[in-house]
Amino acid sequence: MTQSRVVAIEEGKDAASAIRTNLSRALPLRLILFCLLFSVLGVGLSIISMYSVRFFVVQQTVAPPSTIQPWFEEANSIESWFRPPSNLLHTMNDTELFWRASFVPQIKEYPFKRVPKIAFMFLTKGPLPLAPLWDRFLKGHEGQYSIYVHALPSYIAGYPPSSIFYRRQIPSQMVEWGRMSMCDAERRLTANALLDISNEWFILLSESCIPLHNFSIIYRYISRSRHSFMGSFDELGPYGRGRYDPHMEPEVTLSHWRKGSQWFEVNRRLAINIIEDTTYYPKFKEVCRPACYVDEHYFPTMLSIQLPHLLANRTLTWTDWSRGGAHPATFGKADITEGFFKKIFEGQICLYNSQPSTSCYLFARKFAPSALDPLLGLASKVLGY
């Protein structure tokens, strides 16, 4: 019996030992499998993370450039503030245009090389028949001038790419002679020209105007003047004070009332005054109607109230009113001779920078389309270009 118990104990001992042996073998195998699985999972996650980072970095660094240029990239470039608009046919209305054009730098020194330019602003119904003469006049002076044309909205210009008038037409509206729409067009031209910060002087011209001197003489005359050239007269009689309406008060009194030629030259400071005005514009629009011709009174009166010391009180554009009537004389082919221009140049007397001068006019009008050929024939000899 004792032997049987011993045998049983030994057999139980062997069984327990066998169980312990089996457990000791099973545990390392599970641990190894668990560690192996964890390692594979870690490697997999590392690979996925590595490719994810590489994918996003590649997307950010080698993605093709967008075709849309954000506005803030333009604004961050100083060039965007002084580069002239590449396309004059913008979509701004007059309110937006005048607001944009009225921006004035408060620091007077420019952070770039600025060449002051003359803005030639043409107010016309349609074509410019004297364009070849202007092409010749401005040839070789690129970078010193700009061209702007306000024609009827329905007019489609056909100037060749070689012409200075190619793609220089601005967004326009209908114009009625003697009404405020005429001044609206002049303000529209001025505002478009102000968008080019290099434009320093602004000259209003018609399709019948011609230059009386070469570009160098005109540029020197305007750039050295301490005044802008706009007539502003207190004219007695029915065509001056006789057009004044007491309803202009209190903004404009009879003592303020002025008259002057429609065709002017102003510097940049006065050009901004013209387009930013909201004080006198409503009154002139409401009260000054034919037989009060607003284009002869609005700007001369307003500027003589605001900045009279900056006005030369005369125009630079010669016209012949000797024949009488509501419009000056028009000159055609038969009128264009050396003697004709001699009469224009002789007998002039005016003030230039407060000193007497015999050089008073830089432009002349009105010239018919038939005058083009003889003008081209005489220009080099008589006009200097």
Specify the pLDDT at position 38. Answer: 57
State the pLDDT at residue 17. Answer: 44
Model pLDDT, residue 21:
44
- pLDDT tens profile 195-225: 999 999 999 999 999 999 999 999 999 999 9
Angle between helices 268-276 and 94-101 (to 10 degrees): 140
The candidate with the shortest Cα–Cα distance to 275, out of 199, 186, 168, 149, is 186
Quote the Cα angle for 311-315-320, to 5°: 160
The answer to whether residue 182 scores a pLDDT higher than 60 is: yes
Residue 117 has pLDDT above 70, yes or no: yes
The 10s digit of each residue's pLDDT in 76-112 is 677 777 788 778 999 999 999 999 999 999 998 999 8
Strands 117-123 and 199-206: parallel
For the chain, what is the total number of helices (H) and then of strands (E)?
Answer: 12, 9
> Do residues 213 and 384 make contact, with C-beta atoms less than 8 angstroms apart?
yes
The predicted pLDDT at position 266 comes to 98
Contacts (Cβ under 8 Å, ≥6 apart) of 196: 84, 85, 117, 119, 146
Asked if the model's pLDDT at residue 58 lies above 80, the reply is: no
Tens digit of pLDDT for each residue in 356-367? 999 999 999 999
- Report the pLDDT value the prediction gives residue 174, as an integer from 0 to 100: 96
Q: Cα separations (Å) of 26 from 30, 33, 42, 253, 370?
A: 6, 11, 24, 113, 115
- Is residue 65 pLDDT above 60, yes or no? no
pLDDT of residue 157: 93
Residue type, 197: I
